[in-house]
Copies of this chain bind each other. A is one copy, B any other.
Amino acid sequence: MEEFANTPPPPYYAVIFTSKRKEGDKGYREMAERMMELAAQQPGFLGVESARDQTGITVSYWKDLESIKQWKENANHREAQRLGHKAWYSAFKTRICKVEREYSMTS
């Protein structure tokens, strides 16, 4: 990722996905990349930021709740969610948020 997600002025929406991985790749990396590419093509997608050490945090940004719902129900994404439950994550938490304010610094 080059820089931060280039989101518009608030309000817009964020999906905070926090996860713990199980041991072993089991197709995870490839699927994660495919899902990033696919998400970026969805209507209302605004950007994504991601980091992982012991915990993984991926925050995706969306125009509205409807675009989040559409992406959640996307068939390829549903298959990834199913594998996520079964093979990749020991635990995760998803939070849907409305971004109300922001500020930034770039040197």
Chain A residues with CB under 8 Å of chain B are: 1, 3-5, 7, 10, 14, 16, 18, 20, 49-57, 59, 85, 89-107
- Shortest CB–CB separation between residue A2 and chain B, in angstroms? 10
Main secondary structure of the interface of A (DSSP, over half): strand
Chain copies in the assembly?
2
Which B residues touch A49, using CB under 8 A? 18, 55, 57
- Starting from the known contacts A51-B56, A90-B107, 20 additional A-B residue pairs (CB-CB under 8 Å) come to A1-B54, A1-B55, A4-B18, A5-B18, A14-B16, A14-B95, A14-B97, A16-B16, A50-B57, A51-B51, A51-B54, A51-B55, A51-B57, A59-B59, A94-B102, A96-B100, A96-B101, A96-B102, A97-B98, A97-B99
